[in-house]
């Protein structure tokens, strides 16, 4: 089974002048940043005149907004310990482990965040994802001690595992999903949503081989003008830590993207269309 993931263009999508500007002026985007903030919400102040969208305390939006961040200036680490220098791509690094296998890539990171949200609330029955083959990997069955045997493009449940929901077993479940799911399967599970006003938790995704996915992790609005802005997070290839993206269309490389972007959303390592925006079905 192919994971259906890949890269397109790479950092060349970032205008060279902006990349050089950031490289020689590391503090260029600090105007709306609190270096002491250790979550998405506390690190990144909304744009001038904006306020954050309200979100219920137990919502997916609130969960994403509270994602823990590594100290300001941290560098993304890949699964094998190699570093991914910023060079205009990211404004912060999410402080979550990714394992040592080359699995935690773009769609996997989105899957992981959705699963982590339900896991934190102990809503275990809602953790389920399809493999690219169509097989449904339900965490509720994994918790009961069942495991997944894969042969070629065929997968099936078998016995023999230990029951329980301890973090180590949960991570093994996730890595099993990462190995056999990807942008193709995730795109099938999401629902298309019209327009260019993304909500927190929405995903911009292009399925394929290669393909890519990024997720909206925060949103703000200017009550006076009605203008809105949002933050994006991604993982990439090879497997690497989640990162809060910079906006290559902003002269200061702010991480905030303006809603109402039209037909094209340009991120540092991928370009999406408005039609690529999807959301998780209501639970």
Mean pLDDT value across residues 235-250: 97
The domain boundary, picked from 133, 161, 186, lies at 186
38 and 58 in a single domain? The answer is yes
11-15, 95-99, 257-261: the lowest-pLDDT one:
11-15
Which carries the bigger pLDDT value, residue 27 or residue 172? 172
Residues 92 and 197 in one domain: yes
Residue 16 belongs to some domain of the structure: yes
Residue 5 lies in a domain: no
Q: Report yes or no: 143 and 123 within 8 Å, Cβ to Cβ.
A: no
Q: Are residues 149 and 210 both part of a single domain?
A: no
89 and 210 assigned to the same domain? yes
pTM of the model: 0.89
One domain for residues 66 and 47: yes
| Domain contains 266 | yes
Would you say residue 187 has pLDDT above 50?
A: yes
pLDDT band at 31 (very low <50, low <70, confident <90, very high): low
Average pLDDT, the chain: 90
CA distances to 47, 64, 187, 202 from 196, rounded to whole Å, are: 18, 20, 18, 11
Evaluate whether residue 2 is within a structural domain.
Answer: no
**Band of the pLDDT at 66, cuts 50, 70, 90?**
very high
SS3 (DSSP) at 224: coil
Q: Are residues 131 and 164 in the same domain?
A: yes
Residue 188 CA: distances (Å) to CA of 78, 107, 202, 206: 28, 12, 14, 11
**pLDDT over threshold 50, residue 156:** yes
**What pLDDT does residue 194 have?**
87
| pLDDT for 209 | 83
Q: Within this chain, do residues 246 and 267 fall inside the same structural domain, yes or no?
A: yes
Distance CA 123, CA 165 (A): 11
How many domains are there within the chain?
2
Do 111 and 181 lie in a common domain? yes
pLDDT tens digit string along 212-237? 999 999 999 999 999 999 999 999 99
pLDDT category at 241 given cuts 50, 70, 90 is very high
pLDDT at 7: 37
Task: Mark which of 158, 186, 214 sits at the end of a domain.
Answer: 186
pLDDT at 142 over 90: yes
Instruction: Report yes or no on 169 lying in a domain.
Output: yes
Whether residues 265 and 138 fall in one domain: no
Instruction: Kindly state the average pLDDT of the residues 71-76.
Output: 98
- Per cent of the chain over pLDDT 90 is 84
Give yes or no for a contact between 205 and 267, defined as CB atoms under 8 angstroms apart.
no
1 within domain boundaries: no
Question: Is 80 in the same domain as 122?
Answer: no
Q: Which helix (H) or strand (E) holds 278?
A: strand 277-279
Co-location of 30 and 167 in the same domain? no
Residue 40 belongs to some domain of the structure: yes
Give CA–CA dist 12/268, Å, rounded.
8
Do residues 94 and 198 both lie within one domain? yes
Among 170, 186, 202, where does a domain finish? Answer: 186
Sign, Cα dihedral of 236, 242, 243, 248: positive
Kindly state the tokens that stand for 114: 């959705």
Alpha-carbon distance values, 199 to 52, 196, 277 (Å): 12, 10, 10
Q: Which domain holds residue 134?
A: 106-186
- In this prediction, residue 283 carries a pLDDT of 74
Give the model's confidence band at 265: pLDDT under 50 very low, under 70 low, under 90 confident, else very high. Answer: very high
Angle at 224 between CA 219 and CA 230, to 5 degrees: 15
Helix (H) or strand (E) holding 114: helix 106-120
Res 144 pLDDT > 60: yes
- Work out the angle between the directed axes of helices 106-120 and 167-180 (0-180°, nearest 10): 150
End-to-end CA distance of the chain: 28
Banded model confidence at residue 4, pLDDT cuts 50, 70, 90: very low
- Separation of CA 81 from chain center: 20
């Amino acid at each position: 089974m192919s994971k259906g993931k890949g890269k397109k263009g790479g950092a060349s999508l970032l205008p060279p002048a902006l990349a050089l500007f950031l490289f020689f002026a590391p503090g260029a985007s600090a105007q709306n940043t609190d270096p002491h903030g250790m979550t998405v919400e506390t690190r990144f102040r909304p744009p001038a005149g904006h306020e954050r969208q309200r979100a219920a305390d137990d919502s997916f939006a609130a969960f994403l907004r509270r994602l823990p961040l590594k100290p300001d200036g941290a560098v993304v680490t890949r699964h094998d310990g190699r570093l991914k220098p910023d060079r205009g791509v990211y404004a912060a690094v999410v402080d979550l482990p990714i394992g040592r296998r080359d699995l935690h890539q773009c769609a996997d990171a989105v899957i992981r965040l959705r699963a982590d949200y339900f896991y934190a609330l102990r809503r275990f029955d809602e953790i389920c994802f399809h493999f690219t083959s169509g097989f449904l990997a339900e965490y509720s069955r994994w918790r009961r001690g069942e495991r997944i045997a894969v042969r070629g493009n065929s997968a099936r449940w078998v016995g023999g595992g230990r029951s329980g929901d301890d973090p180590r077993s949960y991570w093994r479940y996730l890595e099993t999903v990462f190995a056999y799911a990807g942008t193709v399967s995730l795109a099938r599970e999401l629902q298309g949503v019209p327009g260019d006003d993304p909500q927190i938790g929405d995903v911009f995704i292009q399925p394929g081989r290669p393909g890519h996915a990024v997720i909206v992790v925060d949103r703000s609005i200017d009550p006076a003008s009605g203008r809105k802005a949002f933050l994006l997070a991604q993982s990439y290839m090879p497997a690497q830590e989640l990162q809060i993206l910079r906006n290559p269309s902003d002269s200061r490389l702010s991480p905030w993207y303006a809603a109402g972007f039209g037909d094209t959303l340009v991120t540092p390592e991928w370009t999406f269309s408005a039609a690529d925006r999807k959301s998780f079905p209501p639970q």
